[in-house]
A and B are shown apart, each in its own frame.
Chain A
Amino acid sequence: MKDEREIVTVTIDGIEMQAPKGELLIRVAQDNGTFVPRFCWHERMKPVGMCRMCLVEVEGVRGMPPACTTTVTDGMVVNTKSETVKKAQDGVLEFLLINHPLDCPVCDRGGECPLQDQTLAFGPGESRYVEEKRHFEKPIPISELVLLDRERCIQCSRCTRFADEIAGDRLIDFGERGGEMQVITYPDDPFTSYFSGNTVQVCPVGALTAKPYRFRARPWDLSAVETSCQTCSVGCRGSLESSSNELVRLLGVDVEPVNHGWLCDKGRFGYEATHAEDRARNPMIRRDGSLVECSWPEALDAAAEGIKRSLDLHGPASIAMVGGSRGTNEDAYLWARLAKGVIGTDNVDAQIGDGLPAEVVLGLPGATIPDLDEAAAIILLGPDLKEELPVLYLRVRRACVDLGVPILDVSAVDHGLSKYASATIRHLPGEQASAAREISAALAPLIDGRSGPIVVVLGRSDVATSAEPTVAAAAIIREIPNTRFLVALRRGNVRGAIDLGLAPGFLPGRVTLDAGAERFVAAWGSAPAEVGLDTAGIFNAASEGRIGALILVGADIVNDFPDRRLVRAGVGGAGFVICINATVTEAAADADVFLPATVWGEKAGTTTNLEGRISRVGRKIAAVGNPMPDFRIASELALRLGTDFDLETVEEIQDEIARVAPAFAEVDAQLLKRARDGVVLPLALHRDELVLEPRRIPVIDFSWEPIKPEGPGEFEVVEFEVVEPVLEADASDEAAAEEESALPVDISNGAGLPDAQLFVWSAQHAAQPTPGRDNYALRLSAGRSLYDNGRTVASTPALRALIPAQTLRVNPSEISRVGVADGESVRVSTARGSLVLSLTGDANVPAGVAVMPFNIGETGVGDLVDVSLVVTDLRLETLR
């Protein structure tokens, strides 16, 4: 966002500095190297001026205003180090400590505690307090994941403000007053926030502790690596920390264009899955009908043999690869190269039947997350962001609540952001296209002269409805001028996988088989010519005996694919099944070869988020047992099939991607290492967003980097060597770049390789009519719940208990129509199958619709959906 504020001159401690008028004094001081101590002020929250730690003297102003609520004006003269200020700082710290338990030796925060650190730097050496300290029962749980020690609390209100201002979950607040003031939860409304872990991170003392981390480590024993979360495709940046080769904590890192330092609880605590008991440690092959452990060469030989046999007997089209959206970009590229360049099949799909066709993902003009902040309006036509992409939910909510961006909600049922919408278009599941036709008219009054792009968050709102209606809607919305799309796919690196060719019809770097043929034949030696099958097509073919070798890459396919009968028939019908995974899933149990893979935290590389932003994933620990990273497994298989990739390191793979894949032009290992906030593809359009300066570690602000006091009252400002940008700014100015964003981009990189044009989705899309719903049926909407039976949650002890109970929610009128009691079990039947489920009345569910989250419970949505149908209609029968 361009700062167009007037620049004024301020003098702080005798040093003149320039700052935008109206900026907070505390920030101006910090940006210019003067640290004003603080507890309550947080970069991302509104100032409250409660802790009184940042009092300063301003010439001409009576008393001592807090630097966190004072804005700078021209000619302002500020003193942050006078005797008067020092006396006040001493006083505030002494006050904060009189009732603080000083149990630092057993406090999680001890060693990285702002109260400790600022006492050392700014506080009195001793206390004069001889009275009894106040006592509370402790610790008390404020959520399933967070515990509160009210004696340590210094009442800064960061946690309560986070819950209210940032998360929109005003479920913790202050109770009592004066010395008794304490953080409370509401008896009937527990703090069931998906973002509760952030309160632990922003707490400036050890008052809030996270159950999974509590007493697990001392901060000085931790080692950290900067990484990107791969739990969903927002790609939040974090600091991943371990002790004794065990992951113990993930902290959010404040990256302006992505996550502002926030994480969702699933992302924050999901690292526990890495250490799950059931992690596979050794390769396995099927012997006498059961999987038995073996050596890597044995397993790889068997896998290559299975592929080769199918290739020899039935040709490349008899081989298929499903999955690959949970790994790194480097993994994805080598899987794509193995499948398309070595084996020669295009039956490759990273998506598991719950996403959108690759043409839509790659071919729409893309938006970035920061575009939300400056949008004229945001159109939501997709999943419940709070459940599927939680930190994107925070960003959209902020754009609406804090920045005034209007939201147009196009949805079948209420979701987390519905209450913030300025206008709503409700439709029956499957009727997205006709809803999309109403968007232009609904949008006009919302935009009302506002400038900026119209950002469309587009995705599959549920898995019981096929992608077709969403694709049809996208084709209609695309015609609205000035629209840009954030395609809301869910899995961690699904975007990277598609960008790198793990999708039928595409080669790495966003080019079609046709457009890239010449280039990839030159680079790889061969590339498929025929467009292959997507995941549903692959399972159909496999169930008909047309797939000789099926390679399942890191997916829990039986649980993740919307149609369980088809996937079981497919896996059962495939001639030879190779499964690469961290654990032995249901499908893996049927595999002929099982190859154990390393997971997030155990391997380095890059990941791509839903914007197309590539950022680094860090390796923090060594895997236990003998799993291998995917890219190495792919290389080993290629070698056994006659091709030596000759790529030993992640950096070498990155350099090859930059050379070969058109959209990745210039994005080589060196750039990826230096791009602080990641690189948005294609670089040609996003060059001006690139930041090559290293991140300035917040001097004191609860980072993983403990601060280092240097003499009384002084902090060392962590200085980095500033590296001069190597890349020249793009010649075309910004406006031209904006205009260009919708146009095909020609990339001519890659040392003598033929050019290839990036794909743009331009084909006319004729919307298929959605079948009507008869009066006796309910239409199923099966979105997701953040906590479901997916691998991350199911393997994370802290989160497993939070999986909601399975129930079918319908409008209360439907319950009375069927003639049962609320909560009673009924038989639910669809064209695919039938289940007994409990029925819950919910007035927020429109009549005619039934809502059930996907992948909850032993049996569920996957047993009711037939992916060959556009929509899923169901009937209810009583069991009486």
Chain B
Amino acid sequence: MTSVIGAPNATETRIVTKRLRDRPEDSWTLDGFTQSGGYEAFRAALKLDPEAIGAEQVAAAGLRGRGGAGFPTGTKWSFLPKDSYPRYLVVNGDEGEPSTFKDRMLIENDPHQLIEGIAISSYAIGCNLAFIYVRGEFALGFERLEAARRDAHAAGFLGANILGSGFDLDIVIHRAAGAYICGEETALLSSLEGDRGMPRIRPPFPAVAGLYAKPTIVNNVETLSTVPHIMRMGGAEYAKLGVNKSTGTRIFSLSGHVNRPGNYEVELGITFRDLIESPELGGGVRNGGKVKFFIPGGASSQWLTGSDEHLDAPLDMDYVQQTFGVMLGSGAVMVYDETTNPALVAWRLAKFFAHESCGKCTPCREGTGWIEKVLYRISHGYGRPQDLDLLLDVGDNISPGLNAPFSQTTICPLGPSAVSPVVSLHKFFREEVIAMCQNNDRALDVTASDSGASDLGAGE
């Protein structure tokens, strides 16, 4: 399944992660940053026409959002209404998608890179006040980000009349209070305003009426951390990396039953097999086992299996979407070997979504809890053979058609996300699940299966 022209290498291509890998001892400091070329892209950008940055660099680079939806960044910026000020840039640093841990690394180990990205982007869109909404659990990240902001300010990279350009920029860093939903951009804006984090009805879109009802761009940490490199390399040059409309590199958070879990920045277009099995990347499944299934793009995504068709698929956002109905999402790849009971994984994921549902929309508030309860029964030996079909229909009432990209009876995609594990069970493990229900089989804990049986469920 390598229909890709000029397949990229099955190794890391370090652009955004280069500094933090090269100089782990001081990559987060101002000195470490400037000694490795930091703020040069910003300096250069300040000499350019702001509008040209969005159109000629970011859009030309084909940069797409790294938070999950993969929306073209340049296009998003172009939605800002003309002559409407003030406008805000809000950085989504509320990385909460289970098993996604790339933004945390960027925040902790290269905060100045993010600030430089914010500075260039703010200059490009005409924003003088940017907000970083950083996940509350990132204590170290918050400290380093605050220190970086202070240092950048002292060094003249933030504040009034930056580097004599006449451009002003201040950054507010806000620590979140621990809700997954606040990674959804409109819920994030509500939370930032001091209200309950609940998604808002769109339209109006944030680009028109976002934070404090002003035009607002919300971008992910990795997206903005990429911007200085696009300026440095030039948009057209950056676009040469990657494959089709998935240009450049992305950081994949690889976890699960692999020998070398971790963050890997790779050029888009390598295959899942490359990512999981390459000795320089995942290093293969633990104990020499085989992939039973894997989640290709964060907990919200539907699953893929250890079949050749799936493993040999390229990391191309549009290809996986169109071919398998799954998404690369936040870039979190979770691998499960053949010891895994998929029903238990599905229950654990559903439990997460039920816990994180904000409660605003009826189908999500009630439906995620219902799915969780039924999956608990199935995975703990109390399932009924008809339960899987019941779940599919309940899921269909949250996400009509059960497709990806999601259709939804809710405001945001959290509810439909909880349906993904159900659909995946049905697609790939229907017989196994129904057999479990008929035999009242009790699933074993995924992580404890090596050391003997234990029941993860009841006590949690």
Instruction: Enumerate chain A interface residues (CB-CB to B < 8 A).
Output: 47-53, 55, 62-64, 66, 69, 84, 87-88, 90-92, 94-96, 98-99, 128-129, 131-132, 134, 154-155, 173-174, 176-181
Contacts and interface: CB of A to CB of B under 8 A. Distances in A.
A64 B359 contact: no
A174 B196 contact: yes
14 contacts: A49-B201, A50-B360, A52-B361, A62-B407, A63-B408, A87-B397, A131-B370, A131-B374, A132-B373, A155-B359, A155-B362, A177-B356, A178-B368, A179-B365
B354 A179 contact: yes
Given A62-B407, A87-B400, A178 B362 contact: no
Contacts of A134: 369
B411 interface: yes
- Consensus secondary structure, chain B interface: helix
A273 B416 CA distance: 53
Interface string B147-170: 000000000000000000000000
Contact of A95 (B356, B397, B407): B397
A44 B408 CA distance: 27
Contacts of A98: 366, 370
B201 A179 contact: no
B201 A69 contact: yes
Contacts of A176: 359
B361 A50 contact: yes
Contacts of A90: 397
Interface centre among A49, A84, A87, A91 (most CB of B within 10 A): A91
Nearest to A132: B373
Among all A-B residue pairs, the 5 with the closest Cβ atoms: A91-B397, A181-B359, A178-B357, A95-B366, A179-B369
A99 B368 CA distance: 13
Contacts of A181: 358-359, 365
Given A49-B201, A55-B409, 7 more contacts: A52-B410, A53-B362, A63-B408, A84-B400, A87-B397, A88-B409, A90-B397
Nearest to A95: B366
B355 interface: yes
B386 to A, nearest CB: 9
Interface string B398-436: 101000000111110000000000000000000000000
Contacts of A178: 354-359, 365, 368-369
Interface in B357-398: 357-363, 365-370, 373-374, 377, 390, 394, 396-398
Nearest to A179: B369
A391 B366 CA distance: 37
Nearest to B367: A95
B201 A47 contact: yes
Contacts of B357: 177-179
A92 B368 contact: no
A42 B294 CA distance: 46
A174 B366 contact: no
A753 to B, nearest CB: 60
Interface centre among B363, B374, B390 (most CB of A within 10 A): B363
A281 B394 CA distance: 63
A176 B367 CA distance: 17
B304 interface: no
Contacts of B360: 48, 50
Contacts of B390: 128
Contacts of A99: 366, 369
Interface string B189-228: 0000000100001000000000000000000000000000
B345 to A, nearest CB: 20
Interface residues of B, number: 34
A92 B409 contact: yes
B362 A154 contact: yes
A639 to B, nearest CB: 65
B58 interface: no
Given A131-B373, A173-B196, A94 B361 contact: no
A177 B201 contact: no
A290 to B, nearest CB: 64
A88 B397 contact: yes
A174 B397 contact: no
Interface centre among A55, A62, A131 (most CB of B within 10 A): A131
A98 B398 CA distance: 15
Contacts of B410: 52
B384 to A, nearest CB: 9
B202 to A, nearest CB: 9
A129 B393 CA distance: 12
A50 B363 CA distance: 10
B179 interface: yes
A92 B363 contact: yes
A172 to B, nearest CB: 13
Interface centre among A66, A179, A181 (most CB of B within 10 A): A179
A663 B353 CA distance: 67
Contacts of A62: 407
Contacts of B196: 173-174
Interface in B261-306: none
Contacts of B354: 178-179
B409 A91 contact: yes
Contacts of B407: 62-63
A94 B396 CA distance: 13
B410 to A, nearest CB: 7
B401 to A, nearest CB: 9
A179 B397 contact: no
A128 B357 CA distance: 22
A244 B367 CA distance: 44
A696 B360 CA distance: 32
A62 B362 CA distance: 20
Nearest to A154: B362
A64 B359 CA distance: 19
A88 B411 CA distance: 14
A129 B370 contact: yes
A131 B366 CA distance: 12
A48 B359 contact: no
Contacts of A128: 390, 394
Interface in B331-367: 354-363, 365-367
A605 to B, nearest CB: 46
A134 B368 CA distance: 14
Contact of A91 (B363, B373, B374): B363
A51 B390 CA distance: 22
Interface centre among A55, A154, A181 (most CB of B within 10 A): A181
Contacts of A47: 201
Nearest to B354: A178
A177 B179 contact: yes
Contacts of A55: 409
A179 B409 contact: no
A163 to B, nearest CB: 14
Contacts of B367: 95
Given A47-B201, A128-B390, A178-B356, A52 B400 contact: no
Contact of B359 (A52, A131, A174): A174
Interface string B18-34: 00000000000000000
A94 B359 contact: no
Nearest to A134: B369
A9 B390 CA distance: 41
Contacts of B355: 178
A174 B361 CA distance: 13
A425 B309 CA distance: 78
A55 B397 CA distance: 12
A202 B407 CA distance: 31
A261 B183 CA distance: 39
A252 to B, nearest CB: 27
Contacts of A51: 361-362
B268 to A, nearest CB: 27
Contact of A94 (B374, B397, B408): B397
A124 to B, nearest CB: 10
Contacts of B409: 52, 55, 64, 88, 91-92
B201 A48 contact: yes
Contacts of B366: 95-96, 98-99, 179
